[in-house]
């Protein structure tokens, strides 16, 4: 039986030309729309970092949730608006799920949840990024914890999973996000 990592590599090998074409189209469209090259490069870097941040799931199965999707999504929505946040959030969520081989019934929930976070972040472009990021991460984690428990998830797994994600994002938003927001 193939592992998630083998499936991800197989998918990338099979579709690399399509992915490259899609990336070229996105970059050209962004250039036509007037987005600065710096923004495109930083958005691509955030998408790549966020997508690969969950790659460890291919090797370990522990209730620790380190990911950069919320950080990247909130930063882009905060600095460049809802469309940019949605693009980064949805793309990195989808690519992250592909890389860990978890295209399942939870993908639409993840995409909807990260879209809501992007929309909310875009509504507060003058807020303190640390406060905004921590608040939106808390909303996300509490919502997903409640949804998971309501659909039969185990508290012993989901509480540390969402709790560690909140703590990690608390550190990221207080220490790293202000620096990145200034660059974006």
- Report residue 125 as tokens: 């472009």
When the pLDDT of each residue in the chain is averaged and rounded to a whole number, the result is 90
- Residue-level pLDDT at 1: 47
Q: Kindly report, residue by residue over 46-96, the tens digit of the pLDDT.
A: 999 999 998 888 888 899 999 999 999 999 999 999 999 999 999 999 999
Residue 15: Cβ within 10 Å count: 13
Burial zone of 138 (CB within 10 Å; 0-12 exposed, 13-18 middle, 19+ buried): middle
DSSP secondary-structure letter at 184? -
DSSP letters, 7-26, are HHHHHHHHHHHHHHHHHHHH
User: Which domains does the chain possess?
Assistant: 4-183 (1.10.1760)
Q: What is the mean pLDDT of residues 3-26?
A: 77
Q: Kindly report, residue by residue over 84-112, the tens digit of the pLDDT.
A: 999 999 999 999 999 888 888 888 999 99
Q: Kindly report, residue by residue over 115-143, the tens digit of the pLDDT.
A: 999 999 999 999 999 999 999 999 999 99
Cβ atoms of residues 64 and 164 within 8 Å: yes
**CA pair distance 73, 70, nearest whole angstrom:** 5
Tell me the Cα Rg of the chain. Answer: 16
Cβ atoms of residues 6 and 104 within 8 Å: no
- Residue-level pLDDT at 143: 95
Cβ atoms of residues 89 and 140 within 8 Å: no
DSSP letters, 115-134, are HHHHHHHHT-TTS-HHHHHH
């Amino acid at each position: 039986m193939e592992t998630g990592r083998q499936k991800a590599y197989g998918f990338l090998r099979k579709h690399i030309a399509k992915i490259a074409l899609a990336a070229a189209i996105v970059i050209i469209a962004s250039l036509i729309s007037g987005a600065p090259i710096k923004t495109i490069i930083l958005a691509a870097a955030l998408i790549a970092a966020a997508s690969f941040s969950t790659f460890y799931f291919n090797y370990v199965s522990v209730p620790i949730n380190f990911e950069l999707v919320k950080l990247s999504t909130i930063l882009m929505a905060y600095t460049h608006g809802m469309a940019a946040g949605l693009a980064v959030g949805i793309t990195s969520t989808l690519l992250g799920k592909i890389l860990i081989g978890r295209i399942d019934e939870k993908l639409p929930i993840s995409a909807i949840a990260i879209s809501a976070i992007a929309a909310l972040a875009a509504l507060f472009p003058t807020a303190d990024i640390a406060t905004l990021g921590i608040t939106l991460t808390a909303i996300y984690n509490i919502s997903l914890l409640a949804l998971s428990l309501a659909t039969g998830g185990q508290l012993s797994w989901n509480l540390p999973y969402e709790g560690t994600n909140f703590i990690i994002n608390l550190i990221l938003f207080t220490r790293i996000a202000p620096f990145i927001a200034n660059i974006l």
